[in-house]
Structure 1
């Protein structure tokens, strides 16, 4: 399930940077990458070009014919970096803290011992009986 979720997050980030991190429930990163991409679009295209992007055909025409190679490279780089980051975060390869205490068996993040579920991935947890030493 983790591999599928990571691949879905990466694919969503290729479509629009930030969406993949929202799938992973990493809200700060989702807002950061979305804001970065929107800012790059605002700096790359003029108001007339943005108005011409009202349809898929118009968007394709503007992106392929009316923008420079540098602008296309910057936008593609942001999307590719975001997708790569979402993939690795989804797989759990980076960004995991070595914390003391129990961790979720599904996502590996630290658990709140007062809850009966993981507040990160909402996996239902079985109650652990304390050891009775009599």
Structure 2
């Protein structure tokens, strides 16, 4: 499977629209599922059931009326999880792009610590673990 460069801003935008959607764009399936579950659990624990019932019964107008009565202590955890999701999607895209670029450049990395390794050495100069002769960029 080949990796392609991804747009970090697009991953962040998808994550803003829906938790885990940015990770789906990056093809990080488990991470997307975990972020969706974490956001759902946070909303379940901190959003009052009255607001959910108001949305179900009144639609958008019920949501607007219920949101006027919600405290900041109830919305802050949901906003925090959403912000962390957006930042994680953005940084995951940057890490993906860095790995794609290093693979294209032929940069060797240590399989133990993950740092760049001098091509002339048969061991990692950072953690001193031995390198295989066929260890290339991952």
Q: Per the shorter chain, which TM-score range?
A: 0.5 to 0.7
Q: Structure 2-normalised TM-score?
A: 0.60
The one of 62, 66, 70 equivalent to 1:67 is 70
Pairing 1:52-63 to 2, within 5 Å after superposition? 52-54=54-56, 55-63=59-67
Q: What is the distance in 2 between the residues matched to 1:36 and 1:30?
A: 10
Structure 2 partner of 1:92 = 95
Match of 1:31, SS state, is helix
Choose 32-41 or 49-58, whichever is displaced more.
Answer: 49-58
Match of 2:29?
Answer: 27
Query: Offset of 1:93 from its aligned partner?
Result: 6.9
Provide the rounded CA distance (Å) in 2 between the counterparts of 1:94 and 1:26.
Answer: 14
User: Which 4+ residue blocks in structure 1 deviate beyond 6 angstroms?
Assistant: none
Q: What RMSD, in angstroms, separates the aligned Cα atoms of the two structures?
A: 2.7
TM-score (norm 1): 0.62
Q: How many residues align?
A: 100
1:2 is displaced (CA, Å) by: 4.1
Matching of residues 1-134 of structure 1 within 5 Å: 2=5, 5-54=7-56, 55-63=59-67, 65-92=68-95, 98=109, 100-101=135-136, 110=138
Q: 5+ residue gaps in structure 1?
A: 103-109, 111-134
The answer (yes or no) to whether the contact 1:88–1:94 under 8 Å persists in 2 is no
